[in-house]
Structure 1
Amino acid sequence: MILLVFLLLLSTHLLSAEEPLPLLLALSHTHGGATANASFLRAASLRSAARYRHRHRHRVEVPLPLSPGGDYTLSLSLGHGPSLRLYLDTGSDLVWAPCAPFSCMLCEGKPGFSSLPSPPLLLSSSPVSCHSSFCSAAHSSLPSADLCAIAGCPLDAIETSSCSPFPCPPFYYAYGDGSLLARLRLSRLSLSRLSLPRFAFGCAAAALAEPVGVAGFGPGSLSFPAQLSRLSPHLGHRFSYCLAAQSTLVLGRRIHPQERPRFSYTPFLADPRYYAVGLEAVSVGSTRIPSPAELRTAGLVVDSGTTFTMLPPLLHARISSEFSHRMARAGHPTAENAARAAGLGPCFFTSRGPVPTVALHFAGNATLSLPRRNYYAGFVHEGKKVGCLAFLSVLGEDEEDEGAPAGTLGNFQQRGFEVVYDIKRKRVGFARRSCSGLWETLSRG
């Protein structure tokens, strides 16, 4: 009988190697007492947890602190150089840093310029070959004034592997309010417990109105998530941030089905350059104002690197008119001087009357109901409390870039929300969140 029991237990163990044989023997023993069984259970539970962690190590979320401000910065290191603070920017693809010698024109008064340390030499980095896909990515979609083209190495030469010299030539990269000249380099990128060997970044020698480097989190192949996905697809395919006094970036963000609060998702539009989403309408109070066709088709870029939301002139005018009408009915006098001083508008003197609500309605039935602080910027002007509608009108249209996104969702409107970018499922989600609570929860794990 004893032999039969042993053979049955042994066969069970061979068929299910997940359960340790000592545990099965302990559970079949009727005289060992509760203490012996409990010790075996604890040993088995620890072993099971260890095996699970081993299998799912690549799925661990990585929370990282962000420094707050008008823009938000991420701390990382390249090679053996000092720690760098780069702007988190989902509206661009390139990761770049100033490299010595570095010159910056029109940078006086820019955030970070007065305290800018001496740029690292980055001696531990190596050049990128002109035959590399990174090189062609850096030189694609550039204007005719591209410095590489002037040097006699246009994109078609790079893509056909006929370019010379061997290293990838200098490239020009432009933002809406600045630009830079850089060379592509390869180095080890380190942040928190992550280390990415042979990470491609721009080593900038000169910049116009861009004194601080940028960590591009856009959808292009040179971006931080795209390069991170080579090391870990899970970490590179999903990330989120929560912007507040204590801001958090989460790489590999996992949203559990039971998680609260629930996320409201809207799909990305088919634009390989940006995370663009369709804006269907904007509500001011109970009035729903439809978006123009270009915001539903070309879309609105979800951008962590832009402060205020930019909207087409006609939509901005209709929102401002409805907001002003409701503010006047609530007894808020107009403050025109404050509008000129702040560069926002319309602006109003603060009274005890209510401020109308504002909500953004996206494709896929996703609604972003904004807290008052996310659309009504309060400050003191000439000794009086005032507030301004915190949306801007797009000043002009780029006729040469037909089909480009028609607006931008800025980080001012995203504050106090966790914004998750699900690149694999091609969607972005929003949920009201305590950013400090998110950091505490994930950093403990």
Structure 2
Amino acid sequence: MATSISFVGLSCFLLSLCLVCSLKEGYAFEEQRESHAESYLTHTFQVSSLFASSICNHSTKANERESTFRVVDKYGPCFQPSLHRSVVSPSLTDILRSDRARIYSIQARLSKNSGRRDHIVEPNSVRIPVKDGSAFKTPNYLVTVGLGTPKTDLSLVLDTGSRLTWTQCESCTICYKQSEPLFDPEESKSYVNIAKTDSVCDYVDHPVDGKYCSYVIGYGDGTSSLGYFSKETLTMSAEKIESFLFGCGTENKGTFGLEAGILGLNQEKASIVSQTAQKYKKIFSYCLPSLASSTGHLTFGSQTPAPANIKYTKLVAQKSPYYGLDLIGIGLRGTKLNIPESIFTTPGTIIDSGAVYTYLPPVAYTTFRDAFRVAMSAYPWIPGPTARIETCYDFSKSTSVTVPEISFFFKDGTVVGIPGKSSLVTENSKLSCLGFQEYYPNDKQSIIGNSVQRTMEVVYDIPGQRVGFAPNGCS
């Protein structure tokens, strides 16, 4: 009996010991995971990496696929003539003003638009590197394409919100200063005027009576371009697009910088996306560079292999011809903030290559801003240049900065993490500000701007009705 009791006691002791060990091991595992998660969901970087270098940093990603060529910022260190020019990048106030004009145009267009998508099949692929457009006194990004035969190289704004590709043409009656020679249709063997009676003339607003088709396009700040809607050969690297529809601008006025025009990437019939549907199947992607001294790329067609670690979310048809997403929340360090989903879903969201800041509904913005400030309490907060640019920091006395990862939560369960550095818009060493804004009372949707998209491969798969996000698409 004594032996039996002793055996039972020993068994209980051993069982208790195992439970204690198990609990200790489990606690250690949880502690390690939490530590790993904390380090993964914050991003530490050198303060110096917020500023463009004097040395060109070509993206190696642009050479990974066929039909690739490299283009650079003509006023940055990747283009030698830039050494002889002095161009000042826009201030945060300038960027905000430009954003406002752009958003006004988007709102007006959405209020009366009805877009459609065509059915498409499997694609080829071609890539065009992208350069930072800030040196052109525009907060957008530029790609260089060839127009005509022989071709004239032109730097155009990459614009997912525009329905038309256009450029200034030689002998224009109203011209703004641009960095490259104007396109001269009389010097091109492949230029063709479009008759006013041609059905494609209905792709654009044509205000001028006459034998040939005209176009006019305007923007929210009063800027506009008017000219002839024409056909020409468009060259992207070694790829040529024959009979490409574009605007040959003869009257161009407003607040353009030194860029030669616009590359329209929305879903309407005159856009390059729709015009190349037979070849590239309405699939394209881009990676916006982090700095003016780096390059990114623009790719038409599907990619093989697909970008690593890509996450797709649903494309919302109701926002066509823009690119709508089902955003339902925003978070920090992987944790979704306590904001009702209806705050996001009622207005809806679009992703845009042209707006710099990301614009959120008032309640969402305030909650997010306050949480971001708490997470950044280790750094000196300073007032911004305007009342709307209100969450800014002076990093001039720091060598490195740790910023929380920002997450976008979508209705289909997709969660996309944004690198901490991409959440900041920087003007100088003493002024780095949160790249988010509260949208205006009359605005009709949230906008995911280009600053948070930097260095990510953003894939637009229109036949698949989805948009994908992959990290580390470029530097």
Q: TM-score by structure 1 length?
A: 0.67
79-88 or 215-224, larger mean C-alpha shift: 79-88
Question: Residues 294 and 388 of structure 1: is their aligned pair in 2 closer, same or farther, counting only changes over 3 Å?
Answer: same
2-structure distance, mates of 1:360, 1:306? 17
List per-residue Cα deviations over 1:307-364 (Å, max 9, x = no partner).
222223343223222222443xx3333201xx11697331133478854432111232
Greater CA drift, 176-185 or 86-95? 176-185
Query: 1:266 and 1:256 mapped to 2: Cα distance?
Result: 21
Aligned residues: 334
Structure 1 counterpart of 2:349: 300
> 1:332 maps to which residue?
379
Retained in 2: the 8 A contact 1:289–1:319? no
Q: Secondary structure at the match of 1:290?
A: coil
Give unpaired runs (5+ residues) of structure 1.
Answer: 1-57, 108-112, 140-146, 152-163, 399-403, 437-445
What's 2:277 paired with? 229
Determine whether 1:68 maps to 2:132: yes
Question: Which among 433, 447, 456 is matched to residue 417 of structure 1?
Answer: 456
Greater RCO (CA < 8 Å, at least 6 residues apart):
2
Picking from 360, 369, 375, the partner of 2:417 is 369
Does residue 187 of structure 2 align to residue 84 of structure 1? no
Q: Does 1:280 align with 2:343?
A: no
Unmatched 5+ stretches in structure 2: 1-121, 135-139
**How large is the Cα RMSD of the aligned pairs?**
2.9
Number of the residue aligned with 2:179: 116
State how far apart, in whole Å, the 1-side matches of 2:343 and 2:387 are.
28
Aligned match of 2:362 in 292, 313, 326?
313
- 1:357 and 2:427 aligned: no
1:95 counterpart letter in structure 2: T
Identical pairs, percent: 25
SS of corresponding position for 1:226: helix
Q: Distance between the aligned counterparts of 2:305 and 2:368, measured in 1? A: 36
Q: Is 1:208 matched up with 2:254?
A: yes
1:128 to 186, 194, 202: 194
Judge conservation of contact 1:181–1:207 (CA < 8 Å) in 2.
Answer: no
- What TM-score, normalized by structure 2, do the two folds share? 0.63
Residue 97 (structure 1) aligns with = 167
CA contact (8 A) 2:312 2:466 kept: no
Q: Deviations over 1:223-278 (max 9, x none)?
A: 11111124x1xx14211112222311121123557x63233333333233211112
Q: Take 1:120 and 1:267, find their aligned partners in 2: how far apart are those partners?
A: 36
* SS at structure 2 position matched to 1:397: coil
- 1:177-203 Cα offsets, whole Å, 9 max, x none, are 733223211112122122122111111
Does the 8 Å contact 1:267/1:364 carry over to 2? no
Q: Which structure has the larger Rg?
A: 1
Q: Which amino acid aligns with 1:117?
A: E
SS at match of 2:213: coil
Q: Is the 8 Å Cα contact of residues 276 and 298 (structure 1) preserved in structure 2?
A: no
Match of 2:203 among 121, 128, 137: 137
Query: Residues of 2 paired with 1:176 and 1:280: CA distance?
Result: 31
1: distance between equivalents of 2:193 and 2:338?
52
Deviation at residue 289 of structure 1 after TM alignment: 4.2
C-alpha distance in structure 1 between counterparts of 2:222 and 2:266, whole Å: 17
Q: Secondary structure at the match of 2:365?
A: helix
Q: Counterpart in 2 of 1:197?
A: 242
| Contact in 2 for aligned 1:104/1:210 (Cα 8 Å) | no
SS in 2 for 1:340: coil
